[in-house]
Each structure stands twice: as C-alpha cells, then as structure tokens.
Amino acid sequence: MDTIALTQLQKPIESIVQIPGSKSVTNRALIMGALTKNPVIIHNPLWSEDTEAMVEGLNTLGIKTIHCKDSIHVIGNIYDVKDNEFEINTNHSGTTIRFITALCSLVSGKKRIFGSASLNKRPIGDLVDALCSLGADIQYEDIDGYPPILINSKSLKKGSIDMKADVSSQYVSALLMIGPAIGGLELRLSTEQISRSYIDLTIDMMKAWGINVKNDEYHSYNIYPNQEYSLEEYMVEGDYSAGCYFAAFAALAHSKITLKNLKQNTQQGDKAFFDMLRSMGNEVSYFPNEVIITGHGVRPIEVDMELCPDQAQTLAVLAAFAPGKTVLTGVRSLRVKETERVKALQSELLKMN
C-alpha cells in the first residue's frame, strides 16, 4: 500500500479545478444508449471503475462500444443481442450490477451476473422480485436476495407492479430505464422512496432521450406505451460529487476555489452539499458553467443528508472541525454500500480522537 505524506497548508490559496463528468450520469447514459436503436455518442463521460464495469458488461452481451479520448460511442443495442451464455463480472460496481440485471432480463441467453466478494454481500432481492413480477426468470446461485444471480428470461411484459424503494433508489432507476422497452410500466412503491434526487436525475435524462415519466410525488411512476429512446449525442455534465471534496477543502482552508464544468440547473443531488457549506458559514456563487466557493471555516449545523447521502462522510469530517455539535440524519442507505459506511466513518474519526 502506498503512503502519502500530507503537510499543513501554510496560507489560503486561490485555484481553479476542472471537474470531470458525472459517474451517475455516465452509467445511466450507457444504459439508455444500449436501449436506443441507433448509435449514440456520449460526450465527456467519466472513465472510472464503475464505467469500465458497465462498458465491459455491455460488450460481453455483444453491445459494441468504442472508448475514445473524450467520448464513448455506443454502437450496438439490446435488440442485436444473440442467444448465448454470458458471464458478467460487475466487480465493485453496485450501479452496474443493478442496471445490468434489469437490462439482461430483456435479452436472450443465459446470464450469470456477479461481482466482487463485497458486492455479492449487497442486497438485490427487491429488484429481482420486481423483475420476476414482470415475467423474468431469475434464480440466486447461493444466498437468496444476493448475487450471484442467474437470468434465463429473454423478455418482459408490460404491467403494473409494487415494490419497495427504501434500500436503494437504483432499483427504481433500473426499472424506469427499461420501462419503454417493455411497452410501458406502472411502478407503485410500498415504502418511502429513498434518495429521491437520483430518481429525478434518471427521469430528467430519460426526458432528454424522448421518454416521459409521470412521477406521482414519489409514490408511483408511470411510463406510457409507444415511447422509444431517440437521441444521437448526449453531453455528460460535470460531477457535483467530485466537486464536493474541493468545496470542502475551500471551506476548511479559508480558500477560494473555482469549480469548472458544473452547471447550476442540475438534478444531481450532491449539489445540496453546497447549500450545507453555506449553512456552515461559507460563500457559494453560481455561474453558467462554474461554481465559486469562498471558504470562511465551518460552524455546526443539523442537516438531513437524504438528497446527498454519499457526502455524509465529507460533512462528518468538516463537522470534526466545527466548534460544537453537528447532527446528520438521512444516512440509512450508507449501511448497504460497498462497506458499512457509518461504522467505517466512526472507526476512522475515532483514530483522530
């Protein structure tokens, strides 16, 4: 393991950071590209381990993609997948295993889908149950409710289904994205919708592809028949999640950081983190394609992390420097990530007293 030595910042700095494309947007765009009959060019994608896992999964199915310097070309689509046997390793990517599972329920062949040892401990049962309600043939290889899974179905039927949405919003996003391909879908939730901002992101992207989704206040979703994905090029916006770390640094270091490639009008939930920085005493200024953070330190707050649960760790670190008690709620989804993040966060902060 490499060791990195950190030195204390001697004075505030002023800097500009070019933020890369969003991982959440990139992987959704890849799925929507695979559901589009014509080739699609995805500009400004984030090439990450999750993206690589998704691309390799699509390529394994025979959905051809080409990775260029600043774009990914999705040449093939699900309608060209041949009846075969496929093994898809999603590695550590929870997004990939959930989205690919829904996609694989639409195509011919026997599919075995699995991930790393830690990913195989993350639940997938609610999504599998929903897909089976639509006609999927899915079995668990080892433990019920968890990967690896075996999919033998080659099509799904349109219909109305009930499902739980209190474990992961990605289950709902996965079903919404394949909804047009099965001729329509009514999805009713039997629990509260967790991480609503990610649902907003999915629906907003589907709209860009020509798909309308009716959202009944996160109680149900309806995709009407006779809709098809139709788009030739898609631009991935900058990743607010990546920008949060630099913004947090600016706050702690009393520095001024300009984050390029972040748009103000976004459905990314991590934008809410910047409002939290304001509440902690910092300046946040939005411009057409950038955000400027001027740091003044941090003060304690009480905040609901529901819109951006992945930033709970970052905010907790900031809270360690705030003179007083900071309360974070809305973090239940962190317990079913690649690790139990709440316990991991507690463990690491305790090492620093």
208-229: b (≥16 Cβ within 10 Å) or e: ebebebeeeebeebbbeeebeb
Taking the CA atoms of residue 87, residue 90, residue 91 and residue 97 in that order, the dihedral angle to the nearest 10 degrees is: -130
Residue 174 CA to residue 163 CA, distance in Å, equals 13
**Angle, to 10 degrees, between the axis of helix 240-252 and the axis of helix 312-319?**
0
Residue 252 CA to residue 140 CA, distance in Å, equals 47
User: Which one of 50, 239, 270, 310 is the catalytic residue?
Assistant: 310
Segment holding 146, helix H or strand E: none
- Is residue 310 annotated as a catalytic residue, yes or no? yes
Between strands 302-304 and 327-329, the pairing is: parallel
Q: Specify whether the CB–CB gap between 131 and 81 falls below 8 A.
A: no
State how far the alpha carbon of 153 is from the alpha carbons of 22, 88, 137, 280, in Å. 32, 16, 5, 51
Q: Specify whether the CB–CB gap between 57 and 100 falls below 8 A.
A: yes
Positions marked active-site = 310
